[in-house]
Chain A
Amino acid sequence: MVFYNAAGINQFANFSTHLNTLHIDSVTKSYGHKNVLSDIFLTCKKGEILGLIGRNGSGKSTLLKIVFGTEKPDTKFVKAGNKIINTVSDGRNLINYLPQDNFLPNGISIKKIINLFLEAEDREVVMQNKHILPILKKRNEHLSVGEKRIIEILLIIHSKADFILLDEPFNGVSPIMRNYIVKYIKKLESKKGFIITDHDYENVLKLTKKVSFLQNGYLRQINDIKDLVELGYMTETNLSHLSK
């Protein structure tokens, strides 16, 4: 049986879409007189990757932290599925966030961190990963920046959360590992919703064509990559390099 509302819209289809959506609305943030974010609206569905780009200091990380619940906004409305997210506790198993810098605890092995962070059914796939196997017995503080980044990314995207916020995932990672991360995220695209911000726009554009540009506190949907030249984010040289 299918339920239709007065407008003839399938109610179940609407409800299921609603449950699979991260709804970000009315996000504003200012520091003193400077408006960093002005009435930001963004939606991300499960099975979707959104790219968020912008110049340094444009507020990309601030926006992700507000959505995650660690940064206090002036106003915000964030809803994951049918749950309103105000704090990190509200977003448990719904939203996870990869910060720019290393966040894993020191003093214990990577194997123990995997066991403590992930649910039993998600551990094996991470432990058997070809890049993780050699470092399982090592401690976080003994890993290189790139090794730390790959374990962090795997932990976050294999967590139970439906929506993953990645803040500069390619930071400090070699080009070959960047390709690996792009392929890995693509592989899991159907299971989760991703919002990715990174200055490595080439890899962000490899991941998604749905890109938004944050400038002067406003979010603008990018329909054509050429718009980024007009907006002063990249040069014609960057663009021609990208089209090769």
Chain B
Amino acid sequence: MKIIKNLLLFQKKIFFTAYSFAILVGIIFGGELKVIGLSYLFFCHAMHFFVYDLKDRNQYYYYYNLGISNLKLWFSTTLLGLINLLILVLI
């Protein structure tokens, strides 16, 4: 549970900005939910890279000290993007 809560904390920094960009792109390309989902899948990875690899690189150590590796953090970003896409496709 502690790991999941910390992964959510990690994703919180990415989610809102990435979703704002995804909605904007979705609207530009006709407002389809599937397009928003695909855009989010792209922007969540872009934001992950920008926020954690370029801007606040040292914050990785918070998660490393919890035993969460870089690979697991990237996997959580991808998983969240895919779940979001699946939900938007099914709606």
Contact = CB atoms under 8 A, between A and B. Distances in A.
Interface of A: 68-70, 87-89, 91-93, 96-97, 99, 101-108, 116-117, 119, 156, 159, 161
Contact of B69 (A89, A97, A101, A161): A89
Contacts of A108: 9
Q: Give 8 closest A-B pairs by Cβ, nearest first.
A: A92-B67, A103-B61, A88-B64, A89-B69, A99-B61, A103-B58, A96-B65, A101-B58
Contacts of B69: 87-89
Do most interface residues of chain A lie in helix, strand or loop, or is the interface mixed? loop
Contact of B13 (A68, A70, A92, A107): A107
A89 B72 contact: yes
A144 to B, nearest CB: 17
Interface in B1-31: 2, 5-6, 9-10, 12-13
6 contacts: A88-B64, A88-B67, A97-B64, A105-B10, A116-B9, A117-B6
Interface string B41-72: 00000000000000010111110111111001
A91 B67 CA distance: 7
Given A70-B61, A103-B61, 20 more contacts: A68-B64, A70-B60, A88-B69, A89-B67, A91-B67, A92-B66, A92-B67, A97-B61, A97-B65, A99-B58, A101-B58, A102-B58, A103-B58, A103-B60, A104-B59, A105-B9, A116-B9, A117-B62, A159-B65, A161-B65
B76 to A, nearest CB: 13
Contacts of B72: 89
Contacts of A102: 58
Residue among B6, B10, B56, B59 with most chain A CB within 10 A: B59
A105 B62 contact: yes
A103 B64 CA distance: 10
A104 B59 CA distance: 6
Contacts of A117: 6, 62, 65-66
A107 B15 CA distance: 14
Nearest to B62: A103
Contacts of A69: 64
Contacts of B2: 116, 119
A105 B59 CA distance: 6
A116 B6 contact: yes
A91 B64 CA distance: 9
B58 to A, nearest CB: 5
Contacts of B62: 103-105, 117
